[in-house]
Structure 1
Amino acid sequence: MRSQMLLTRSGITVINDAYNASPPSMAAAIESLKNLDCTGKRVCVLGDMLELGATEAAAHEMVLDLCCCDSSGLIMLVGERFLAAAEKLKLLEKIDVVCSSDVESLAAKVREFFGF
C-alpha cells in the first residue's frame, strides 16, 4: 500500500499510500502528490498516524504544514490527532479543509465530493 494506484476514472486518479504511515512516509506521499502532472484539483485524504509517542502533536502539525504549501488543493482529515493539529494551526480559516471524526463519515464525504 505504498503509492498504489487504485483506479483512474472520469479524470480522477486514486492513489493509496497508507501502509504504516509515519511523518517521513506522509511527507514523501504529499511531495509525490504535489509533483503529479495534474490539471485539476489535488485532494489529500489524511488519517491519524498512531504510536508516535511524545512527537505525536508536532508530527501531525508538520504534515499539515506540508499540505498547506499548495493552497490549490483540498485536504480531507479524519481522526482526533489531525483535527487537533488543524485547529491549532487554524487551517479551517486558511484553506479548503474537510474534517471528520470517524472514517465512515469521511468516506461518505469523499464519495460525495468525487461523485462515486
Structure 2
Amino acid sequence: MNIALWIIAGVLGAVALAGGAQKLAQPKAKLAAGGYGWVDDFSDSGVKTIGALEVLAGLGLILPAALDIAPVLVPLAATGLVLLMIGAALTHLRRHESQAIVVNVVLLAVAAFVAWGRFGPHSF
C-alpha cells in the first residue's frame, strides 16, 4: 500500500503542479479564452492565489516525503488539495459546468485517499 500511495501522491502532485503553474504563468484573459471560463468569477490576484495554492499542494505531496523533511506535510497538502477541490466543485456547480465537477470530484477523492493513508495506517 505504501508504494501505491507514493505513486498516487506523485501523480496527484504532478497534476496539481501543472494546473497551478498554468494559472500562475498565463494571464487571466488567456485562461478564459482557453476554456477556463470560471476565471471571470475571480480577480487576477484570486486566480494567481488559486494557482499558487495548487503549486504548493503539488510540492507538498512530493517533496517532504522524498526529502524526508517533515513528511507530515504530505497529508496536510492532500487535505489542502481536498479543500481546493471542494471550492472548485462549488464554483463549477454554480456555473452549471457538470463535466468539470466530475474532474474535481475525482481529484478530491484521490487527495482524500492520500490524506487518509498518510494520516492513518500508512503514515511515514
| Alignment TM-score > 0.5, same fold | no
Higher strand share: 1
Computing the radius of gyration over CA atoms, which structure comes out larger, 1 or 2? 2
- TM-score, structure 2 as length reference: 0.30
Higher helix share: 2
- TM-score, structure 1 as length reference: 0.31
